[in-house]
Amino acid sequence: MSNKTIQNNNNYDNTWLIVQNDLKDDLKSIIWNSWVKPLVFINYSNFILTIQTPSELVKNRIDNQYYDKIFFRAKRLFIGLNKIKFTVQTGKKNFQILNKTMPIEKNQTLSSISFTDNASKILNKNYTFENFIVDKSNELAYFSAKRLVQEFNVDYNPFFIYGNVGIGKTHLLNAIAWNIQKNNNKKFIYISAERFMYQFIKSLKMNETLRFKDQFRSIDILMIDDLQFIGGKKSTQEEFFHLLNDLIDNKKQVIITADKSPSNIKNLDYKIRSRLSGGLVVDILPTTFELRKKIIRNKVSTKNVNLEKDIITFLAENIFNSVRELEGALNKIMLYSDITNLNLNLASAKTILADYLNKSHKKITIKDIQLEVSKYYNLQFHELCSKNRSRHISKPRHIAMFLSKQLTDASYPEIGKLFGGKDHATVIHGVNKIKFLIETDRKVKQDLDNITLILKED
Ligand code: ADP
Ligand code: MG
């Protein structure tokens, strides 16, 4: 009797292989390879088909997403099929996530292949909370990050930080990672989006996507830097989307940085956008004059260098694109004074920094500003200079007037003349309106910073 059962099950074993093969027609090969291929037939009795999965993860995914498809195919060959039961293979090894990453050698066993990188190798020891200078342009990101490591509040999931290049996103992400490493034993992965993609593709090539999935899911916290690089990469995005869902649904923390907000990253799948927008999204705004001054003072004092006040002010006023650029300029000056052993004056500082200054010192005209502002707000050039006072035109007009006052040497009357012959009081009124909005309306501040950057980049 028992012999017969085995005999039957052996037959069914082959039947299952046919079902598996049929499913290739229903699923993309990436999906099939990852989720269907590893399924193993256990038995078929009482019209219940029992199938073994290699992990809880696979079991859940199959149950939630592919049950119907599998059932439909299986029913045609397992006569009378009533139900499929998925079990999990026991005694499976867990992967070490933060083990030292070793190069893959020929004789290395598969179970030691890691698709996650060794975080402590990547982290920068200077990028800590203590070394991060806080100011109103970045306080939201800073305090949210600090709060997150204190509480791991699931409401902040995913936690998304965005902002232009060189203004402290990676620094904050590192700070979070250091904090986790120091203060609790949560398992985390810290990886750049590019590296994530590379590892995923590597796993595809090695036919090891399952291992990839397992490794990325057996953690408590996932940190991905520069997510924008995933834009347009379809299969990686698909994988990332499922990973995101699995982690968040299991209350595992996800922390992400990018140069744009989820809705503004190019070629990002809408499902990912909406999932990312569902957590806490904070931005780091372009640096303020005050922040730049603080950063310079801080650096100067830690390096024990003497830098005159007027040089500090000059640097803070003129090198404003990013903290990274500011640090570069400062390093150059400090190196120079180190080598020459001279106390720098403003004139020599300007000479040393000629490269940096030419870039930011492009002469901007009122016409440039008007063109850029019209483009930014989707207006016709003539509308900007018209008398039309509807809000969608008057606000951009005031912004253009404000920028003209900020970025050119023109006087109020001169600006008025170029805005369709308006008098100086009208210009002052417009400029003041924007001055008020900068303090109260984040969107206006952001728009101004964006337009200024565009004007200075050209
Ligand atoms: P991003 O990732 O946004 O491109 P980074 O985090 O790499 O920028 O920052 C660029 C450089 O500027 C780093 O050296 C970083 O330490 C420094 N930096 C940025 N913001 C701050 C800040 N608020 N305080 C101190 N250093 C900062
Ligand atoms: Mg960065």
Residue 171 CA: which ligand 1 atom is closest? Answer: 6
Query: How far, in Å, is the centroid of ligand 2 from the Cα of 247?
Result: 23
Q: What is the CA radius of gyration of the chain?
A: 29
14 and 93 within one domain: yes
Is the CB–ligand 1 distance for residue 142 below 6 Å?
no
Strands 83-88 and 48-53: what pairing? parallel
Does residue 109 lie in a domain region?
Answer: no
DSSP string covering 438-453 = HHH-HHHHHHHHHHHH
**Structural domain count, the chain:** 4
Q: Which residues contact 84 (CB under 8 A, 6 or more apart)?
A: 48, 49, 50, 51, 67, 70, 71, 74
Residue nearest to atom 23 of ligand 1 (CA): 133
Does residue 118 lie in a domain region?
Answer: no
pLDDT tens digits, one per residue of 146-191: 999 988 766 899 999 999 989 999 999 999 999 998 887 789 999 9
pLDDT tens digits, one per residue of 427-455: 999 999 998 898 888 889 889 988 988 88
In the predicted model, residues of the chain with pLDDT beneath 50 are 1-7, 92-109
Q: Residue 198's pLDDT is what?
A: 85
311 and 446 within one domain: no
Q: Residue 1's pLDDT is what?
A: 38
Q: Where are the beta strands (DSSP E) in 156-212?
A: 159-162, 188-192
Q: Residue 100's pLDDT is what?
A: 31
State the Cα angle at 184 between 181 and 186, rounded to 5°.
80
State the Cα angle at 378 between 377 and 383, rounded to 5°.
90
Does residue 46 lie in a domain region?
Answer: yes
Query: How far, in Å, is the centroid of ligand 2 from the Cα of 226?
Result: 6
412 and 388 within one domain: yes
What's CA 161's distance to the chain center, in Å?
Answer: 7
| Side chain identity, residue 63 | D
256 and 148 within one domain: yes
329 and 260 within one domain: no
345 and 373 within one domain: no
Domain that holds residue 318: 289-360
Is the CB–ligand 1 distance for residue 227 below 6 Å?
no
Collapsed DSSP state (helix, strand, coil) of residue 265: coil
Residue 323 CA: which ligand 1 atom is closest? Answer: 12
Which residue in 214, 239, 235 sits closest to 224, CA to CA?
A: 239
By CB atoms closer than 10 A (0-12, 13-18, 19+), residue 77 is: middle
- Residue 378 backbone zone (phi > 0: left; psi -120 to 50: alpha; other: beta): left
Q: Where are the beta strands (DSSP E) in 182-261?
A: 188-192, 221-225, 253-258
Domain end among 283, 309, 332: 283
174 and 93 within one domain: no
Residue 174 belongs to a domain with what CATH number?
3.40.50.300
Query: How far, in Å, is the centroid of ligand 1 from the Cα of 327?
Result: 9
Residue 374 belongs to a domain with what CATH number?
1.10.1750.10
145 and 240 within one domain: yes
- CA separation (Å) from 438 to 77, 137, 249, 447, 451? 69, 12, 39, 10, 14
Query: How far, in Å, is the centroid of ligand 1 from the Cα of 437?
Result: 27
Does residue 123 lie in a domain region?
Answer: no
By CB atoms closer than 10 A (0-12, 13-18, 19+), residue 370 is: buried
Does residue 127 lie in a domain region?
Answer: no
- Alpha carbons 126 and 143: distance in angstroms, whole number: 18
377 and 310 within one domain: no
Dihedral of CA atoms 122, 123, 124, 130 in degrees, nearest 10, equals: 170
191: its two tokens: 């990886």
249 and 349 within one domain: no
70 and 49 within one domain: yes
Residue 72 belongs to a domain with what CATH number?
3.30.300.180
**Nearest ligand atom owner, CA of 166:** 1
Is the CB–ligand 1 distance for residue 287 below 6 Å?
no
Is the CB–ligand 1 distance for residue 171 below 6 Å?
yes
Q: Residue 313's pLDDT is what?
A: 93
405: its two tokens: 């006052």
Residue 350 belongs to a domain with what CATH number?
1.10.8.60
Query: How far, in Å, is the centroid of ligand 1 from the Cα of 141?
Result: 13
- Alpha carbons 17 and 112: distance in angstroms, whole number: 29
- CA separation (Å) from 401 to 35, 145, 269, 407, 443? 59, 37, 38, 10, 17
**Nearest ligand atom owner, CA of 165:** 1
**Nearest ligand atom owner, CA of 172:** 1
Q: Residue 175's pLDDT is what?
A: 96
Residue 165 CA: which ligand 1 atom is closest? Answer: 4
Domain end among 315, 343, 360: 360
Residue length, the chain?
A: 458
Query: How far, in Å, is the centroid of ligand 1 from the Cα of 323?
Result: 6
Cis peptide before 158 (omega within 30 of 0): yes
- Environment of ion ligand 2 (residues, CB < 5 A): 169-170
149 and 259 within one domain: yes
Domain end among 360, 387, 417: 360
Residue nearest to atom 25 of ligand 1 (CA): 132
**Nearest ligand atom owner, CA of 138:** 1
| Side chain identity, residue 457 | E
Does residue 176 lie in a domain region?
Answer: yes
